[in-house]
Amino acid sequence: MSDIPESPPAAPAGAVSAPPVEVRHRGLITLSIMLATIMQVLDTTIANVALPSMTGDLGASQDTITWVLTSYIVSSAIITPVTGWLADRLGKRELFLISIVGFVASSIACGLAWSLPSMVAFRLLQGVFGAAIVPLSQTFLLDINPREKTGQAMAMWGAGIMVGPIIGPTLGG
């Protein structure tokens, strides 16, 4: 035989690997997670309405201004699938904080953009930093809620983040 200890059997498919983390202020944490997600979701819709004014302000054509949207979408689409891998390497909490700080900083940079290339670069960074916010938000909600309350927590979170697409066009236009 071997000296290597036998590993425990794998959990059945669909089984939760660990019980939820005990937290005192579950509602406050959920609200904070929801606000971070609203910030990211709001930003995906706010630029759509602002494109016509950005076209003039940045001296861009109708064809080139679409890079403001495209850079965000492409960078977000590239980073979202690797969020789990990054969370394993950096830690979920650390990645979430890096994402929020980076997203806010790149949002400020977008407001200070002086040309179309600078706006596209800053929107690309927004997409990179914003990509992990939604998946990590859902992960945290699953971590802090008991299994029987996860549906309710996700429903509250989903209803709350719908505020972003509703007010985004108003703020952008």
Give domain status of residue 15, yes or no: no
Give domain status of residue 21, yes or no: no
CB–CB of 92/136 below 8 Å? yes
* pLDDT beyond 60 at 20: no
Looking at residue 49, its pLDDT comes to 81
Looking at residue 153, its pLDDT comes to 84
Q: What dihedral do alpha carbons 109, 112, 116, 122 form, nearest 10°?
A: 0
Number of domains in the chain: 1
| Mean per-residue pLDDT of the chain | 83
Tell me which of 13 and 153 has the higher pLDDT: 153
Give domain status of residue 102, yes or no: yes
At a CB cut-off of 8 Å and minimum separation 6, what does 6 contact? none
Looking at residue 18, its pLDDT comes to 56
Give domain status of residue 1, yes or no: no
Find which of 4-13, 46-55, 132-141, 156-165 is predicted with most confidence, using mean pLDDT: 132-141
- CATH number of the structural domain spanning residue 73: 1.20.1250.20
Give domain status of residue 10, yes or no: no
Give domain status of residue 5, yes or no: no
Tens digit of each residue's pLDDT (9 = 90 or more) over 113-170: 999 999 999 999 999 999 999 999 999 998 888 888 888 888 888 888 887 777 766 6
* pLDDT beyond 50 at 33: yes
Both tokens assigned to 92 = 């979920």
